[in-house]
Amino acid sequence: MKQLLVLSGKGGTGKTTVASALIKLANAKAYADCDVDAPNLHLISGWQSRPETKEYYGLDKAIIDQDLCIDCDICRVHCRFDAITDTPHYKVDPLACEGCGVCEYVCPVSAITMVPYIDGELMLYQNQQETFSTAELKMGSGTSGLLVSEVKKQLKNAAPESVGLAIIDGSPGIGCPVIASLSGVDTVLLVAEPSVSGISDLKRVVETAGKFGVKQLVCINKYDTNIQKSKEIEEYCKRNNLTYVGEIPYDPQAVAAVNAGKTVIDYNTAAGQAIRLIYDRIKELMEFADV
């Protein structure tokens, strides 16, 4: 199963809009949303059924047994994350606890133990035709990279062996969830924005993806909002041997489509027509056939 990952160096570039359109055009039978901090691909995927859900356990968290605690204050003093308070009694804030286990180690009466903690929820939408894997990280949790790996593993295990292409909507930026998303994929499509920050963040994600040896493709969304910056992106691609696959115009109808819970392909939009051309180019480069 070939994997196409859609990334952007920053939020708000239209990454999910492009990813959902590609899923529609490819008639993809397997796809995933790896933006676990703020998943939204399900909003325009058209699923009517409820997903199978599974609790996701991240790093263990510390808890203090009040019956054993002698209020010695050693745990609070040694907690470098200030996760332990002593009012009205000693307790651990699970949102601040990083699961390092120092408090358990230093406690003289073994009043502290590390216990499994639910950091989020895995969701799997599936029928005889399609498989969609996604998840949502609990607010304040810091194990997004691990959860992304679980989303991808869930997709791989659930999708039929006959599936030839999986499309993955990644996270913005270059952090842990992006790194976890990049692992094992064949090709990454980078959606760039023609702005000063957009170019800077594109360069960062290109450098990050380059360390994985992944084939990188670049397209520009809303290219006509800043023609000069769009030209700079094209020149950057040429200088760095990046395959430029096209540009998408700013299109108010695209906003209308997303607000209606549809992809831009479902509407007769200029953006949709541009993404069709980009899809044809990707299909040629990745050498896969329409389903």
Burial 156-193, CB ≥16 within 10 A → b, else e: beebeeebebbbbbbbbbbebbbbbbbeebebbbbbbb
Summarize the confidence of residues 212-216 as an average pLDDT.
92
Is residue 170 domain-shared with residue 207, that is, in the same domain? yes
Dist. CA 258–CA 266, nearest whole Å = 10
pLDDT in the model for residue 289: 55
Q: Is residue 27 situated within a structural domain?
A: yes
What is the band of 290 on the pLDDT scale with cuts at 50, 70, 90? low
Q: Are residues 201 and 239 in the same domain?
A: yes
- Alpha helices, DSSP H only, in the chain? 15-26, 74-78, 102-106, 144-158, 176-182, 196-210, 227-239, 252-259, 270-286
How high is the pLDDT of residue 164?
84
> Using one digit for the tens of pLDDT, what is the confidence trace for 67-80?
999 999 999 999 99
Q: What is the pLDDT of residue 257?
A: 87
The answer to whether residues 22 and 160 belong to one domain is: yes
Same domain membership, residue 65 and residue 38: no
Do 84 and 187 fall within a single domain? no
Angle of helix 252-259 versus helix 270-286 axis, rounded to 10: 80
Least confident of 4-13, 142-151, 282-291: 282-291
Residue 206 and residue 277 share a domain: yes
Cα–Cα distances in Å, from 177 out to 150, 216, 279?
Answer: 11, 18, 25
Domain ranges, residue 150: 2-56+121-286
One domain for residues 134 and 243 = yes
Residue type, 272: G
45 and 138 share one domain: yes
**Same structural domain for residues 149 and 79?**
no
Residue range 85-113: average pLDDT? Answer: 94
Q: Is the model's pLDDT at 267 over the cut of 90?
A: no
Q: Same domain for 214 and 78?
A: no
pLDDT digits (tens, 9 = 90+) for 111-127: 999 999 999 999 999 98
Do 80 and 140 sit in the same domain of this protein?
no
Q: How many domains does the chain have?
A: 2
For the stretch 173-211, pLDDT in tens is 888 899 999 998 999 999 999 999 999 999 999 999 999
**DSSP secondary structure string for all residues of 181-194:** HHTT-SEEEEEE-S
Specify whether 130 is located in the same domain as 189. yes
